[in-house]
Structure 1
Amino acid sequence: MLPTSVRPAREDDEISAEFFDKALRDHRPVIMYCHGNSGSRANPHRVELYKLLIRLGFHVVAVDYRGYGDSSSHTTPDGIHDDVRTVYRWLRERTGDSPFYIWGHSLGTGISTVFTSKICREEGCPTGLVLEAPFNNLLDEVMRHPFGMPWNILPYSRGYFDQAFNSTAPYFQSDVNIEHVTCPILILHAEDDWIVPHDLGRKLYDIAVEKRPASADPIQMVSFHSEEGCGHKNIAYSSKLPSILSDFIK
């Protein structure tokens, strides 16, 4: 999605692939958006975020992993990370030295943290990482999710969950990987988030503060009060978000 200032004057004008490729080299900031577990890149709360970001002057590229939206094939953790890597490399070939940000929401925060950790170690960090409604690790999130909480009354339930998610958890283990993310990090979390509880985002922030090297760029956590009603999906509607993002970019 092109920044508002770059779009053609008439909405119904057809835009060629060449136009998009050229626009991506215009040195405006680019965001690669990794969405959460449900729906597709076209969910209304995601579209609302895209609209805000393009008004603020960002290029936005939203990824539907395989098995989501109109992307083909079967969803697997390996496949999701391959898809993110493919889109990232495709973009970096076209964006040159433009500021480049990775934005993850919910499950996408685990994907984007693990992926950003990997490229920081191997290729060099992006300009920044934004984590919206993040969890510290998959096991804690599954046990605190509304569908998982009833199982907590059972003895040894954590061990059962650990066994069930043993092969999948490392693909989303933010608390282990965030220490290697040395670019600036912005964490956004609503206090009334019942899908990924606010304290899991706080745990991730505290681990990052403790484990990231002293030379790492700043990390900031912004909480949205329950009175705002942002919940798990509606931070994009907060009147505070534009200024928060502008300050982070600066």
Structure 2
Amino acid sequence: MREEISEFPLARLFKYLPWFSYTVVEPMQQNGFTFKTDHFICLVDVPIIILHAQDDHVVPYRLGYKLYQHALKCRQDTQGKIIFHKFEGKHNYDHRFICRAPEIHDIISDFISTAIKESKK
């Protein structure tokens, strides 16, 4: 969450100021605004697909990919595969419009089919 707050578009203007962490990040975390996705993704016992647009301005692409890399290291083979699918920035999907990708149906259908096959083994 610390990284996410610091990368939020409005916060980018202020994150280099010496008081930013003390007055913005820490109070948000103390008041329950914590996302422990990097912790919880290790506990999920089903296959996971992460879809991320390179031009996402809310959750930067590098943070999505960092989460994926972390999951590769912490998850066991018995928990199911983890797949990361990148959408090029040229498509302008940003944070909300991956659903407009013409191939989204096939990506998700393939993921589900693979997950079902893996679960029957």
**TM-score range for the pair, normalised by the shorter chain length:** 0.7 to 0.9
Residue identity in the other structure for 1:215: T
Partner of 1:228: 91
Percent identity between matched residues is 30
TM-score by length of 2: 0.84
CA RMSD of aligned residues (A): 1.4
Q: Secondary structure at the match of 1:244?
A: helix
Alpha carbons of structure 1 residues 151 and 213: separation in structure 2 relative to 1, 3 Å: same
Partner of 2:68: 205
Task: Trace 1:31-180 onto structure 2 (pairs within 5 A).
Answer: 138-167=1-30, 168-170=32-34, 172-180=35-43
Partner of 1:92: none
2: distance between equivalents of 1:159 and 1:210?
31
Q: Deviations over 1:84-122 (max 9, x none)?
A: xxxxxxxxxxxxxxxxxxxxxxxxxxxxxxxxxxxxxxx
Q: Deviations over 1:56-111 (max 9, x none)?
A: xxxxxxxxxxxxxxxxxxxxxxxxxxxxxxxxxxxxxxxxxxxxxxxxxxxxxxxx
Of residues 98, 102, 105, the one that matches 1:242 is 105
Q: Where does the alignment leave 5 or more consecutive residues of structure 2 unmatched? A: 114-121
The answer as to whether partners of 2:53 and 2:87 remain within 8 angstroms in 1 is: yes
Of residues 25, 45, 50, the one that matches 1:182 is 45
Q: Where does the alignment leave 5 or more consecutive residues of structure 1 unmatched? A: 1-137
Alpha-carbon distance, 1:159 to partner = 4.0
Q: Which runs of 4+ in 1 moved over 3 A?
A: 159-162
The answer as to whether partners of 2:5 and 2:25 remain within 8 angstroms in 1 is: no
2: distance between equivalents of 1:161 and 1:210?
31
Alpha-carbon distance, 1:218 to partner = 0.2
1: distance between equivalents of 2:99 and 2:52?
11
Please identify the structure whose Cα radius of gyration is greater.
1
Residue identity in the other structure for 1:238: A
Partner of 2:118: none
The answer as to whether partners of 2:55 and 2:94 remain within 8 angstroms in 1 is: yes
Q: Secondary structure at the match of 1:246?
A: helix
Q: Deviations over 1:160-179 (max 9, x none)?
A: 43421223234x21011111
Alpha-carbon distance, 1:156 to partner = 4.9
Q: Deviations over 1:145-198 (max 9, x none)?
A: 10111111202533443421223234x210111110120001000001111111
Report the number of matched residues.
112
Q: Secondary structure at the match of 1:232?
A: coil
TM-score by length of 1: 0.43
Q: Secondary structure at the match of 1:152?
A: coil
Residue identity in the other structure for 1:157: F
